[in-house]
Chain A
């Protein structure tokens, strides 16, 4: 390991690295148990420094948080593989009758995201799906080492993805969502903010939803293998 990289442990422990550097350092940590131990210890020291600034919060805050938690599903302890399909082939097809139908379906599947600085864990449209009384959720692992939680609500006719466990990308990459019926992926939009997730109309039965990593701005057709393919009807 390079000494240079190792000395980043302090800055890493106090979140003082750029997202790119942090990602690089995380990779370094994977193969360096001593570094992980050092980060753990430095974080503990930093946490005690932070805790020494304790200020009693306003009394109303607890009730708000308890109420919000009550409606928020918890992640399961172990990742389960449910409802994932094998990645489809990405063969480009000439637009035929079937593809035209997909386009019409997909037109209603635009991603809805809140661009403004919403301090909720998820954007409101996403939270609404997760909070729906009939919401079904599943957490799946993605091939790039992250995980994705999907919620569907038949009642609302919507689905949502919680994406904040996806690994961060470099500045010139984005996650892009696709609706696939048959072999033809149709873009459902680029994920603007992984912390917020995305909500969309529940696709028709037989349509799968996939996520790929694309160059910034998104692509017309997927240029990489999907990191995950989910069948919403199987959630």
Chain B
């Protein structure tokens, strides 16, 4: 990653460090678990905040994620991806599960209502590190429909069927736009390394 010292508010780490920490956690090393928490908790909590919106529920999701990581660390397989990706995949699935559970509870409510505004939004704004800049730049390379499809699915927890309904587009269109958008994001991020 290119160094941009002025923007670095949190240290960025090589994924190898996180992989190694997960390996130590797998052996029951609670100190390594604490370090792993320090490394990735902001990413996990930030994603949970984006998806479930409510800060208290985001804390619950974050706790679920780290306990799953603790419990399943020995099952983590480096051959299948990076440790950080593994943790963020768990985080996303748990956050989406949480938001879908609460959505099904208030199914009477209409969709499309504006997001709830939380009280402490300005106090804990997104950490503007270099990763944030790289991702934002890469997201700009997506077409509007690709971007919209990816964001509604990833950050709002909608299924691609729901996204198709919301955007009033045919299912196959959304399915392919979602994939094309992610492929474009992947290619751009790989180039930005």
Contact = CB atoms under 8 A, between A and B. Distances in A.
Contact of A14 (B74, B127, B161, B182): B182
B24 interface: no
B46 A65 contact: no
A11 B179 contact: yes
A54 B182 contact: no
A56 B43 CA distance: 8
Interface of B: 10, 26, 28, 30, 33-34, 37-38, 41-47, 49-50, 55, 57-64, 66-68, 70-75, 80-82, 84-85, 88-89, 91-93, 96-98, 101-102, 105, 124-127, 129, 131-132, 134-136, 139, 150, 153-155, 157-161, 163, 172, 175-176, 178-183, 185-186, 189
B182 A121 contact: no
Interface of A: 4, 7-11, 13-18, 40-58, 61-62, 64-66, 68-70, 72-77, 117, 119-121, 195
**Top-6 shortest CB links A-B:** A10-B179, A47-B88, A57-B45, A77-B74, A55-B46, A45-B186
Q: Which of B64, B93, B136, B160 has the most CB of A within 10 A?
A: B160
A15 B82 CA distance: 18
B126 A121 contact: no
Contact of A10 (B59, B60, B81, B180): B180
Given A8-B175, A53-B46, A66-B37, 15 more contacts: A4-B172, A13-B182, A45-B189, A46-B92, A54-B126, A56-B42, A56-B127, A57-B62, A58-B55, A62-B34, A68-B67, A69-B70, A121-B67, A121-B68, A121-B71
A51 B88 contact: yes
A158 B71 CA distance: 22
B178 A14 contact: yes
A224 B73 CA distance: 34
A51 B131 contact: yes
Q: Which of A41, A50, A62 has the most CB of B within 10 A?
A: A50
Contacts of B10: 54
B62 A72 contact: no
A53 B58 CA distance: 13
7 contacts: A10-B150, A15-B153, A17-B159, A42-B183, A50-B50, A52-B136, A119-B57
Contacts of B134: 48, 52
A44 B85 CA distance: 5
Contacts of A4: 172
Contacts of A9: 179
A57 B59 contact: yes
A52 B88 CA distance: 11
A73 B71 CA distance: 7
